[in-house]
A and B are shown apart, each in its own frame.
Chain A
Amino acid sequence: MDLFWQQLINGLSLGALYALIAVGYTVVYGIVQLINFAHGEIFMVGAFGAFATWVVMGSPKEMSWQMAVFGLLPAMIVGGMIVSVSMALLTERLAYRPLRDAPRLAPLITAIGISVFLQEFVRLFFGDIPGMPDAKRAIPFPTVIGITGQSLHFGNVTVQISAIFTIGALAACTIFLWFYVNRTKTGRAMVATSQDPDTARLMGINVDRVIMSAFAVGAALAAIAGVAHGLRYGNIDFRMGFLAGLKAFTAAVLGGIGNINGAVVGGLVLGVVESMATTFIPGQFGSPAWKDVWAFVLLILVLVFRPQGLLGAKVVDRA
Chain B
Amino acid sequence: MLEVKDMVVAYGRVNAVKGISFSVEKGQIVTLLGTNGAGKSTTLRAISGLLKLVSGSITFEGEPLDGVPAHKIVERGIAQSPEGRRLFRKMSVEDNLKLGAFSRKDTAGVKTDLANIYELFPVLGERRHEAAGLFSGGEQQMLAIGRAMMSRPKLLMLDEPSMGLSPIMTQTIMRTILKLQSEGVTILLVEQNASAALSLADRGYVLEVGQIMFSDTGKALLGDDRVRKAYLGAD
Contacts and interface: CB of A to CB of B under 8 A. Distances in A.
A192 interface: yes
Given A199-B86, A201-B50, A192 B71 contact: no
A317 B70 CA distance: 21
Interface stretch (B27-35, B99-107, B181-189): B99-107
Contact of A205 (B82, B89, B102, B148): B102
Nearest to B74: A204
Contact of A317 (B71, B80, B90): B90
A220 B209 CA distance: 50
B216 to A, nearest CB: 30
Grouping DSSP codes into helix (H, G, I), strand (E, B) and loop, the B interface class, with mixed when no group exceeds half, is loop
B95 interface: yes
A206 B71 contact: yes
Interface of A: 185, 188-189, 191-192, 195-196, 198-207, 317-319
A2 to B, nearest CB: 44
A200 B75 CA distance: 14
A192 B69 CA distance: 18
Given A198-B50, A203-B74, A204-B75, A319 B85 contact: yes
Interface string B16-27: 000000000000
Contacts of B148: 202
A203 B100 contact: yes
B125 interface: no
B91 interface: yes
B90 A202 contact: no
A199 B82 contact: yes
B151 interface: yes
B70 A201 contact: yes
B90 A204 contact: no
Contacts of B69: 206
Nearest to A194: B88
Contacts of B89: 195, 317, 319
Interface of B: 48-50, 69-71, 74-75, 79-80, 82, 84-91, 95, 98-100, 102-103, 133, 147-148, 151
A318 B74 contact: no
Given A206-B71, A207-B71, A196 B86 contact: yes
Given A202-B74, A204-B71, A189 B102 contact: yes
A317 B85 CA distance: 12
A90 B213 CA distance: 49
Contact of B103 (A198, A199, A204, A319): A204
Nearest to A195: B88
Nearest to B104: A204
B86 to A, nearest CB: 4
Nearest to B133: A317
Contacts of B95: 188
A77 B87 CA distance: 40
A277 to B, nearest CB: 36
Contact of A185 (B71, B74, B88, B102): B102
A203 B102 contact: yes
Most buried by B among A189, A200, A201, A202: A202
A192 B88 contact: yes
A180 B69 CA distance: 26
B88 A196 contact: yes
Nearest to B147: A203
Contacts of B79: 202
B80 A202 contact: yes
Contacts of A318: 84, 86
A204 B74 CA distance: 5
A70 to B, nearest CB: 37
Contact of B151 (A188, A198, A199, A204): A204
A275 B28 CA distance: 69
Given A198-B50, A201-B70, A203-B99, A319 B88 contact: no
Contacts of A188: 95, 98-99
Nearest to B150: A203
Contacts of B50: 198, 201-202
12 contacts: A188-B95, A189-B102, A192-B99, A198-B50, A199-B86, A201-B48, A201-B49, A202-B74, A203-B74, A317-B89, A318-B84, A319-B87
Given A188-B98, A196-B86, A202 B48 contact: yes
